[in-house]
């Protein structure tokens, strides 16, 4: 009928359901289910008659998972060329929300500081963390910026993407949420590499960034400096200094991880160990320690393997795509996710200072769950659209383009 909406214009004509993104979907679902069980082990002192206790944080996380899957499906159905049109508007809204968080006269009932950070907006039933969705908007904006450019192969051409990155990084750092702010840098580097930036330029950028990072140490908050000093003490073998304060969380997490051994501890024993050791943030930032305590070193490696599976499906999809926007969006999302996993696991094992970063799909949190499932939906959206046969290769430059 003429009055019907031409759905093929929104979805696209040449679709395929045989693609590598199913690896990413399967890993996302498996990690989410592991997270729900780990949250139950970390928060419920006694084993329930069912696999998990369907109440409290577990029930809320299950609802977050349902919302996340729906959001991922909603973002996967339309052709991603239409999603691209939302990049700059979404980034503008995200930045406006980040600025809103920093306005001091906003009522505390709406923006309630937690651990000294103004990072959440109270929506009544749930708290919303704008920094999480800013990560997606940022990746989409960079992908849209780079898709038909080549000036990023010059030194001065790196300035605009650096400025685009600087704005959300500064706003999130001011909350202060240094952990989330850090995630934007690896994503920028990964997108630049995928877009064909010259590696010698990026090497200098990384070196300058490292020097700037060391020089910024005096600007850190006292508790952030204490975390770094505490980590240095542990690396030097001094587990006594800070064991009852700044290093308590890290030492407890390592103790619980070590108690899991190779194959883990029984369900009831693991719950008792987590409860009696009083691990802070055991449902959130330190949930990997709960997973390793319950399932052992092998279980921890299996969880890391699921993240590798997620990235494998994503990068195979990016490699098969000839569309520059689709390829860069996937690369940026994969870089953020793997950086987040690396830092969180390092925190739990005492290899990195604790800076407040969640474990994707596994840690408790609605904003985090929504974000990672939207990332999964973006990967599926690109994978379902067959590459156009006559399109030229993406981001392939000849030597004469290097100027």
| H helix or E strand, kind and range, residue 127 | strand 127-128
The CA distances from residue 377 to 83, 291, 307, 369, 373, in Å, are: 11, 26, 16, 12, 6
- Which residue is associated with the tokens 């300058």? 208
pLDDT score recorded for residue 266: 92
Burial letters 27-43, b for 16+ CB under 10 A, else e: bbbbbbbbbbbbbbbbb
Cβ atoms of 272 and 45 within 8 Å: the answer is yes
Per-residue b or e along 330-343, where b marks 16 or more CB atoms closer than 10 Å to that residue's CB: bbbbbbbbbbbbbb
Q: Which of 244, 245, 247 is nearest to 234 (CA)?
A: 247
CB atoms within 10 A of CB 217: 10
Tokens coding 350: 């005492």
CB 48 within 8 A of CB 36: no
Query: How far from chain centre, in Å, is Cα 260?
Result: 26
- Confidence band for 298, pLDDT divided at 50, 70 and 90: very high
- C-alpha atoms less than 13 angstroms from C-alpha of 95 in its C-beta half-sphere: 16
pLDDT of residue 200: 82
Q: Give the contacts of 17 (CB within 8 A, at least 6 positions apart).
A: 384
Residue 243: predicted pLDDT = 47
Residue 403: band (very low, low, confident or very high) from pLDDT cuts 50, 70, 90: very low
Q: What is the pLDDT of residues 221-253, one digit of tens each?
A: 666 666 666 666 666 555 555 445 567 888 889
Q: Could you tell me which residue, 156 or 137, shows the higher pLDDT? A: 137
**Which pLDDT belongs to residue 6?**
63
- Residue pair 64/114 in contact by the 8 Å Cβ criterion: no
Q: Give the distance between the most distant pair of CA atoms in the chain.
A: 76
- CA gap 206, 214 in Å, rounded: 12
Separation of alpha carbons 234 and 230, rounded Å? 6
120-140 CB burial, b ≥16 within 10 A, e <16: bbeeeebbebbbbbbbbbbbb
Q: Are 401 and 153 in contact (CB under 8 A)?
A: yes
Per-residue pLDDT tens digits for 169-215 = 999 988 888 889 889 999 999 999 988 888 887 887 778 777 766 66
Mean pLDDT for the stretch of residues 279-304: 93
In angstroms, how far is the first alpha carbon of the chain from the final one?
A: 54
pLDDT at res. 39: 94
What are the structure tokens assigned to 16, written together?
């395929």
Q: Which residue has the higher pLDDT, 86 or 400?
A: 86
Write down the pLDDT at residue 393.
63
Q: Tell me how far apart the alpha carbons of residues 309 and 251 are, in angstroms, rounded to a whole number.
A: 30
For the chain, the average pLDDT equals 85
Query: How far apart (Å, rounded) are the C-alpha atoms in residues 53 and 37?
Result: 9
State residue 1's pLDDT score. Answer: 42
- Chain mean position to CA 229: 26
Segment 278-306 mean pLDDT: 93
Comparison of pLDDT for 340 and 147, the residue scoring more: 340
Q: If you ran DSSP here, which 8-state letter would residue 149 be given?
A: -
- DSSP state at residue 385: B
What are the angstrom distances between the C-alpha of 165 and each of 7, 129, 134, 137, 368? 36, 19, 11, 11, 20
Are 224 and 215 within 8 A, CB to CB? no
pLDDT single digits (tens) 326-349? 999 999 999 999 999 999 999 898
- Label residue 355 by pLDDT band (50, 70, 90): confident
CA dihedral angle for residue 141, residue 142, residue 143, residue 148, rounded to 10 degrees: 110
pLDDT in tens, 53-76: 778 899 999 999 999 999 999 999
pLDDT, position 399:
52
């Amino acid at each position: 009928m003429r009055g019907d909406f031409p759905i093929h214009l929104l979805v696209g004509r040449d679709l395929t359901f045989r693609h590598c993104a199913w690896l990413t979907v399967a890993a996302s679902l498996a990690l989410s289910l592991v997270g729900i069980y780990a949250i139950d082990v970390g928060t419920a002192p006694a084993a329930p008659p069912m696999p998990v206790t369907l109440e409290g944080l577990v029930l809320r996380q299950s609802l977050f998972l349902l919302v996340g899957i729906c959001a991922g499906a909603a973002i996967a159905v339309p052709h991603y060329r239409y999603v691209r049109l939302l990049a700059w508007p979404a980034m503008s809204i995200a930045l406006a929300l980040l600025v809103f968080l920093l306005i001091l006269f906003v009522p505390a009932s709406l923006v309630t500081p937690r651990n000294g950070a103004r990072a959440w907006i109270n929506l009544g039933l749930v708290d919303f963390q704008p920094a999480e969705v800013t990560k997606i908007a940022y990746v989409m904006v960079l992908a849209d910026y780079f898709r038909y450019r080549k000036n990023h192969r010059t030194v001065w051409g790196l300035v605009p993407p650096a400025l685009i990155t600087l704005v959300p990084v500064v706003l999130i750092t001011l909350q202060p949420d240094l952990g989330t702010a850090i995630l934007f840098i690896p994503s920028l580097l990964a997108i630049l590499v995928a877009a064909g930036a010259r590696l010698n330029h990026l090497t200098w950028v990384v070196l300058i960034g490292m020097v700037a990072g060391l020089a910024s140490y005096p600007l850190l908050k006292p508790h952030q400096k204490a975390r770094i000093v505490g980590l240095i003490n542990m690396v030097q073998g001094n587990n006594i200094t800070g064991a009852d304060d700044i290093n308590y969380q890290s030492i407890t997490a390592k103790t619980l991880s070590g108690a899991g051994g190779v194959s883990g501890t029984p369900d009831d024993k693991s719950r008792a160990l987590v409860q009696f050791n009083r691990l802070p943030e055991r449902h959130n930032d330190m949930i990997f320690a709960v997973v390793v305590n319950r399932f052992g070193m092998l279980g921890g490696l299996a969880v890391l393997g699921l993240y590798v599976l997620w990235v494998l499906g994503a990068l195979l999809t990016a490699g098969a795509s000839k569309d520059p926007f689709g390829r860069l969006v996937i690369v940026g999302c994969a870089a953020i996710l793997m950086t987040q996993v690396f830092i969180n696991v390092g925190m739990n094992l005492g290899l990195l200072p604790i800076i407040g970063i969640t474990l994707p799909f596994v840690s408790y949190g609605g904003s985090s769950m929504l974000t990672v499932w939207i990332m999964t939906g973006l990967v599926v959206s690109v994978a379902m659209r067959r590459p156009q046969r006559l399109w030229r290769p993406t981001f392939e430059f000849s030597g004469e383009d290097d100027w």
